Amino acid sequence: MAEMKTGAEIVWECLLREGVEVVFGYPGGAILPTYDALSKYNDKIKHVLVRHEQGATHMADGYARASGKVGVAMATSGPGATNMVTGIATAMMDSSPIVCITGQVTTGAIGGDAFQETDMTGVTLPITKHNYLVTHIDDLAQTIREAFYIARTGRPGPVLIDIPKDVQNASIEFVYPTDPIDLPGYHPPAKATDEEVAAALELINKAERPVILAGHGVLISGAMKELRELAEKGNIPVTTTLLGIGALPASHPMNMGMMGMHGGSWPNHAIQEADLLIACGMRFDDRVTGNLKTYSPKSKKIHIEIDASEINKNVKVDVGIHADLGTVLRQINPSVQRVDRSAWFGKIKDWEEDSNERDILQFESPTLLAAQAIRKIWEGTNGAAFVVTDVGQHQMLECQYYSHDDPYTLSTSGGAGTMGFSLPAAIGASFHVKDREIWVIVGDGCIQMTIMELATAVQENANINICIINNGYLGMVRQWQQMFYESRYVETPIYSPDYVKLAEAYRLPGYRVEKIEDILPTMRKAQEHNGPVLIEFVVEQFDNVYPMVPAGADLHDMIRRPHPRFENMDIV
Amino acid sequence: MKQTLIALVEDKPGVLNRVASLFRRRNFNIESLAVGHSEVPGVSRMTIVTDEEEMLRRNIIKANLFKMVNVIDVQDVTEQSCVLRETALIKVEADSVTRGQVMDVVEMYRGRIVDVGTKTLIVEVTGEPEKIESAINVLTPFTILEIMRTGKIAMTRGEVMPRTNGTTKAPSNGKH
Ligand SMILES: Cc1ncc(C[n+]2csc(CCOP(=O)(O)OP(=O)(O)O)c2C)c(N)n1
Ligand SMILES: [Mg+2]
């Protein structure tokens, strides 16, 4: 006879069978039965007590991005669950597979505005891939299985499971369901049709000025090898989105780097001049296209994308292929022909050289520049770190000055641009990433959004190096004010605590760096320490990120850093 | 022309809300939505009419619907040969003098009088939405007090259409 198990125990039984190693969460009344049952499972599953439920979701997300496995976050009903909303939306925008388990008031109380009742399936409907309210214990195990399956397959995303307290307390004879998951309305696509392959090849082999746009889908599909083959075999330059960084090594001669608002000027120009765009697992976000009316006007477009609703959403394409990217590239690559494109590569080289001359690293500055600091972090980690960034100037500078040669070594909030992501996401990543150093690059604004997770980092002895790029401002917003609001710096100067003392208070080593020559020695100290370390970099306040495509402007219409041969540098 | 979609959805709590919420969130406008049980137990059938004219946007609506976990299949039947029907209940002011005139109109539209009050009549008209519009226009001079329309329901003519999207493609695993 099968054993009797409570709903709470079934939750842990199911998590174990999904291969879950770690759960990030915070207890409270409505999830208490499940926490109580954890005492029977905590030799098999690690639970990390966070300091805020937003942190739990970012940790689950950070873990998922680093490992490719589903991250799990847990919270109580009402405020515990609503605190997760930002993290869920962040995971949704970046197609990150997480499962959030929330307690709910008892089934009989639902709808009556009971204490700490919030309609979580309602609240998270537009920001989850799918969500569930489990009203009967018989459905619990199958629901959890489905949730994990949905989270990790197709275009991954967050799934929320809301479990009323009485369902956690009920018990049944538990038999783990083993029949295949049957979701009649859920069909992740697999491969391209022969006609689609032929149509794509026709365009690729004919193109004179093609560009590959590599997005997050390359990494999610694990199609790095196939992408590289397409680029090398077809002799086609590649540019990546923010989340596509790592799809092709940064040092690969065909990799032009990141496109878009703060991308390189040369990939942006290349996109505008191209006669073919091959979009691979990306979604033509406004931050990479600029003005859609003038976007890449001369090109035919191929879009390979696992989510059909992204095809023709923003940019009308000539060949849309709704399928798994890696599979499609394996179908296409064998018939891709090598075409001489030296004229095209020559043009790109010219654009690149012009950009290199304007590079801020060419300048002397009396103050430490954020770009220099980040370049040094790259140097001090041999470019091999797992980097987690936050959102703002420091994030864009990371993309420009930390060159990633390996996939899955950058974790950053792209689609949502969620300030506060980096510290918890790095803690989450630290439960998977053991073979690389983890470096957090975070602004003075962002760190203060989730700074309470320093306690979690210390408690878990998470091996992370936290670099606070302190420019005294909400720098990215200040940059917009400078450029578009006549330098009225309204509410962007931001006060910071003494971070070294703060580190001391949280009981982790803390350092302050103001000179470029002190960076590497300080990094050494951090590298020698096992556990979290905080380094504050005091940097130039008024530097900007260039190039910049103003929101809604044409992609080729970038604000450039003044050219040193003609103009003075514009930093004070 | 309005876009007409037929969706087969799982008959589960909250599915109607999910579909409606999708339209709201994606900024698509629902003209009408009719839902009820289908021939398969556990599966409901929806007819959704949108005011979207543009082909690419129509495809996006369809793809978004199809992407939903509880939506089993979607067909855009706008361009297909379909039986389209809508039913309206129309309450009209009618006393002993005008009652006969109203009944003549109803006759013309092959409608029925389903309730008679001392000062009112309820008229039931079924047909293509254009016919309903026309009946409403003709009844307007008698003073219409209330209108309730079901929204359009649609069924393609002839053989049952095979399920269109994705169902032939095997699941891929999203691991990396
Ligand atoms: C939660 C949240 N609130 C507001 C913003 C808007 N925002 C984008 S970047 C930024 C400034 C970030 O400041 P800081 O962390 O100091 O980074 P810096 O740009 O100075 O490098 C702000 C306020 C956001 N992205 N997320
Ligand atoms: Mg700052």
Q: Do A187 and B64 touch (CB under 8 A)?
A: no
Ligand 1 site residues (CB inside 6 A) read: A 390-394, 417-419, 443-446, 469, 471, 473-477
Domain ranges of chain A: 3-174, 194-353, 360-538
My answer on whether B52 and B20 are in the same domain is yes
Of all protein residues, the one whose alpha carbon is nearest to atom 8 of ligand 1 is A392
Per the listing, tokens 């989850």 go with A128
**What's the order of all strands across the beta sheet hosting A438-443?**
A410-411, A386-389, A438-443, A464-470, A533-538, A510-513
Q: Report how many domains make up chain B.
A: 2
User: What are residue A25's phi and psi, to 5 degrees?
Assistant: -165, -175
pLDDT reading at A567 higher than 60: no
Strands B82-93 and B112-116: unpaired
Nearest beta carbon to residue A121 from set B14, B69, B171: B14
Q: Which ligand is nearest to the CA of A89?
A: 1
My answer on whether B111 and B128 are in the same domain is yes
Query: How far apart are the CA of A311 and the centre of ligand 2, in A?
Result: 36
- Output the domain CATH number for residue B149: 3.30.70.1150
My answer on whether B123 and B69 are in the same domain is no
Q: Which ligand is nearest to the CA of A479?
A: 1
pTM for this predicted structure:
0.95
Query: How far apart are the CA of A393 and the centre of ligand 1, in A?
Result: 8
Residue B41 belongs to what domain range?
2-80
My answer on whether B110 and B126 are in the same domain is yes
Predicted confidence band at A356 (pLDDT cuts at 50, 70, 90)? Answer: confident
DSSP string, B75-88: EE-TTS-EEEEEEE
ipTM: 0.88
Per-residue model confidence as pLDDT tens digits over A183-231? 999 988 879 999 999 999 999 999 999 999 999 999 999 999 999 999 9
My answer on whether B73 and B19 are in the same domain is yes
- Helices A53-67 and A85-93, interaxial angle, to 10°? 20
Q: Tell me the CA distances in angstroms from A517 to A529, A543, B108, one per residue in order.
A: 20, 20, 93
Domain boundary residue among B60, B80, B100?
B80
**Annotation marks residue A115 as catalytic:** yes
Per-residue model confidence as pLDDT tens digits over A5-56? 999 999 999 999 999 999 999 999 999 999 999 999 999 999 999 999 999 9
Query: What CATH code is assigned to A3-174?
Result: 3.40.50.970
Confirm or reject contact between B157 and chain A (CB < 8 A).
no
- Output the domain CATH number for residue B38: 3.30.70.260
Domain boundary residue among B47, B80, B113?
B80
B16 vs chain A: nearest CA distance in angstroms? 12
Domain presence at residue B66? yes
Per-residue model confidence as pLDDT tens digits over A447-472? 999 999 999 999 999 999 999 999 99
CA gap A465, A408 in Å, rounded:
18
My answer on whether B27 and B74 are in the same domain is yes
Domain presence at residue B49? yes
**Annotation marks residue A476 as catalytic:** yes
Best of B55, B69, B76, B165 to disrupt the A interface (most A CBs within 10 Å) is B69
Task: Give the class (CATH, top level) of A360-538.
Answer: alpha beta
My answer on whether B24 and B40 are in the same domain is yes
Asked if the domains at A3-174 and A360-538 fall in one CATH topology, the answer is: yes
My answer on whether B69 and B94 are in the same domain is no
Domain presence at residue B131? yes
My answer on whether B109 and B48 are in the same domain is no
My answer on whether B140 and B97 are in the same domain is yes
Domain boundary residue among B49, B80, B111?
B80
Which token pair is B85? 């029907």
My answer on whether B51 and B116 are in the same domain is no
Q: Do A152 and B175 touch (CB under 8 A)?
A: yes
Query: How many residues belong to chain A?
Result: 572
Query: Which one is the CATH code of A194-353: 2.30.30.60, 2.60.40.1260, 3.40.50.1220, 1.10.10.10?
Result: 3.40.50.1220
- Write out the H or E segment, with its range, that includes residue A426: helix A422-429
Q: Which of A5, A69, A165, A376 is catalytic?
A: A165
Residue of chain B minimizing CA distance to A127: B25
Per-residue model confidence as pLDDT tens digits over A319-343? 999 999 999 999 999 999 999 999 9
**Annotation marks residue A116 as catalytic:** yes
